[in-house]
Amino acid sequence: MEEPNWKDLLAFSKRERNGILTLLILIVLTLAGRTILPEFVQKEMSISDEAYKRMDSLQQKIITLEKDNEVYQSSYYKPKKNNPKQNGNTELTPFKFNPNTLTKSGWKNLGFSDRDVNMIMNFKDAGGSFHKKQDLKKLYCISDIQYKKLEPYIQLEVDTLKLERSGNKSHAFKGVVKLNDADTVDLLKIPGIGPFYARQILKYREMLGGFVLPEQISEVYGLEKKYKKLLPYVKVDTLNIRKININKAKYYDILKHPYIDKTLAYQITEYRRLNGSFEDFEEVRKMKNIPDSILKKIEPYLKVK
C-alpha cells in the first residue's frame, strides 16, 4: 500500500482557502475594534456630558427669569401709596349740577377721570339714581373729601308727584307726551318719571319697534305697578311702527323682539322653509300651539312684504 504524501495532507482546497481568509479578516477587525471603540465611546460620552451641562445652565436661567417676573408683577400690581385718587385728593372744579341728569362730559368737567366717569355712568345705566345728596357717597369712586367739596353744589330734581299731592299745581305737568316720538327730555316732564325710567322707556320702545298701546308701558322694567298713574300723560301714534318682515328676517332677527321666544321664532322660519313665503298673517294664525294672546300682541309688529 502506497504511503500518503505529506504535501497532500497540508494542501487546501479553494473553498477552504476562502474560509481561512475570511476568518483572518474577522480576527483583524476584532482586534482593531478593541483598540478604537473605547476611544469613540469616550468621545460620545464627553459630548453627552457637555449637552447636560448646557441644559442645566439653561434651566437655571429660566428659573431666574421666572423669579424676576414674579418680583416685577408683585411690584407692578402693588397699589401706589401716593396715588391722589386713592387718597381722595383728586382736584375737582365744582359747579351746580344734578347728578341724575349730568352727562358724561359734565362729570369730566367736574374733574373726574375717565375711569371714574365710566363707573358713575355704569351705576346710572344699571338703574341707580340719587334721591338725596348723601347718595353720592355710595359711589366707590367718590371719597369723603370729594363729597364734602361737591355737596354745596348738588341740586336734585323736584318730584312732581309730591308737588301734586301737596296741592301745588303750578309746577305740575299738564300736557301729553307722544311715547313714540319722545326723547329723554320729553319723558322727564311726566310726573313720576326720572332719568332711570326715561331710559328704560326708550330702551323698551327700541326693542318693540314702537308702542301700539299706552298700556304697554306697564311692560317697562320698574313701571309694572305705577303705570296707571302715567297713562293720563301719554299717548301713542302707530304710523311709524317698525315691523319685521317674516319672509326675509333671519331666526335671530325675529328672536330679538320681546314678544317672540325661541320656539315661535323657530316655527316661523321653519314654516317658511317648508312652505315658502307667507302670503298674509292668517298663515301665522294657522300655525300650531300659538296662543291667541301672543298672536294679538305680535300682529302689529309683523309684515309679509
pLDDT tens, 190-239?
A: 988 988 899 999 999 999 999 999 999 999 998 988 899 999 999 999 88
pLDDT band for position 179 (50/70/90)? very high
Contact criterion met (CB below 8 Å) for 186 and 201: no
Output DSSP code: residue 84: T
Query: Residue 116, Cβ neighbours under 10 Å: how many?
Result: 20
**For residues 272 and 278, is the Cβ–Cβ distance under 8 A?**
yes
Residue spans of the domains in the chain: they are 44-78, 83-157, 160-235, 244-303
- Find the DSSP H helices in the chain: 6-10, 14-77, 104-110, 114-125, 144-150, 160-165, 184-187, 195-208, 227-230, 251-255, 262-275, 282-285, 292-298
* Domain spanning 244-303: CATH 1.10.150.280: yes
pLDDT value of residue 90: 61
Examine the pLDDT at 18 and tell me if it is beyond 90: no
Residue 197: alpha-carbon gap to chain centroid = 25
Q: Which cell goes with 140?
A: 366707590
Residue 23, C-alpha cell as written in the block: 476568518
Q: Which residue bears the cell 317648508? A: 274
Residue 258 has pLDDT above 90, yes or no: yes
Q: How many CB atoms lie within 10 A of CB 220?
A: 18
User: Which among 53-62, 65-74, 170-179 has the top mean pLDDT?
Assistant: 170-179
Question: Which residues, 6 or more positions from 175, have their beta carbon under 8 angstroms from its beta carbon?
Answer: 189, 233
244-303 and 83-157 share a CATH fold: yes
Q: Which CATH architecture has domain 160-235?
A: Orthogonal Bundle (1.10)
Buried b (16+ CB within 10 A) or exposed e, 172-188: ebeeebebbebeeeebb
Q: Phi and psi (nearest 5°) for 29? A: -65, -40
Average pLDDT, the chain: 79
Dihedral sign from CA coordinates of 2, 6, 8, 13: positive
Q: What does pTM read for this prediction?
A: 0.48
Residues 179 and 202: beta-carbon distance below 8 Å: no
Dist. CA 166–CA 207, nearest whole Å: 37
Specify the DSSP class assigned to residue 234: E
Contact 304, 247 (CB under 8 A): yes
pLDDT of residue 173: 74
pLDDT on residue 52 = 60
Residue among 119, 57, 52 nearest 85 (CA): 119
- Asked if residue 252 lies in contact with residue 266, where contact means CB atoms within 8 angstroms, the answer is no
The band of 3, judged by pLDDT with boundaries at 50, 70 and 90, is low
- The span from the CA of 268 to the CA of 249, in Å, is 10
With 50 as the cut, is the pLDDT of residue 257 above it? yes
Q: Who wins on pLDDT, 141 or 266? A: 266
Is the distance from CB of 191 to CB of 233 less than 8 angstroms? Answer: yes
What CATH topology corresponds to 83-157? DNA polymerase; domain 1 (1.10.150)
